[in-house]
């Protein structure tokens, strides 16, 4: 499982509703956007571990301006968005292959589990809408972008 974590000042994601009208489905203030990719061998334990790593990742400034505080320390939120393209294989040609990405039936419950586990840890969570064409808007803070793998 991969999580691309971006520290943000604010972020939101929109997606089409059943009628195709775009609506904001998730919005946060300061915290992190977590783009989550799932591969075939990922399990519930991987989802739990990713959530725990995100919650404790020390990428927020302390009183001295050093990245020494975690999401829980600063009271930040998380916007969790599915991102199968994190498993793109670009080794050959110009068109990425996505054979390493888990099928939606496997990926969706694991991404949901990441969001639920973050909430259980005390992090306010917003999410995207699985299997839709989402648009994510964010103000990256730093910028700080970290790739986590479990």
Q: With CA atoms as reference, report the closest residue to 128 among 78, 87, 88.
A: 78
pTM passes above 0.75: yes
For the annotated catalytic residues, the residue numbers are: 83-85
* Cβ atoms of residues 23 and 14 within 8 Å: yes
Compute the 3-state secondary structure of the chain and give helix, strand, coil in percent, each to the nearest 5.
25, 40, 35
Neighbours of 41 (CB within 10 A): 10
Sign for the pseudo-dihedral over CA of 100, 136, 138, 33: negative
pLDDT truncated to tens, each residue of the chain (150 aa)? Answer: 999 999 999 999 999 999 999 999 999 999 999 999 999 999 999 999 999 999 999 999 999 999 999 999 999 999 999 999 999 999 999 999 999 999 999 999 999 999 999 999 999 999 999 999 999 999 999 999 999 999
Neighbours of 72 (CB within 10 A): 16
Residue ranges of the domains in the chain? 2-149
Was domain 2-149 assigned CATH 3.40.980.10? no
């Amino acid at each position: 499982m991969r999580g691309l974590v971006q520290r943000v000042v604010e972020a939101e994601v929109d997606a089409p509703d059943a009628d195709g009208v775009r609506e904001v489905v998730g919005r946060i203030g300061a915290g992190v956007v977590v783009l989550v990719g799932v591969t075939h061998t990922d399990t519930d334990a991987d989802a739990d571990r990713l959530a725990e790593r995100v919650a404790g990742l020390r990428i927020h400034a302390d009183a001295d301006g050093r990245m020494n505080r975690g999401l829980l320390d600063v009271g930040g939120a998380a916007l969790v968005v599915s991102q199968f393209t994190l498993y793109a294989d670009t080794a050959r040609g110009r068109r990425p292959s996505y054979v390493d990405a888990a099928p939606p039936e496997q990926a969706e419950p694991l991404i949901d589990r990441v969001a639920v586990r973050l909430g259980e840890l005390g992090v306010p969570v917003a999410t995207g809408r699985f299997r839709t064409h989402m648009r994510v808007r964010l103000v990256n803070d730093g910028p700080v972008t970290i790739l986590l793998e479990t």
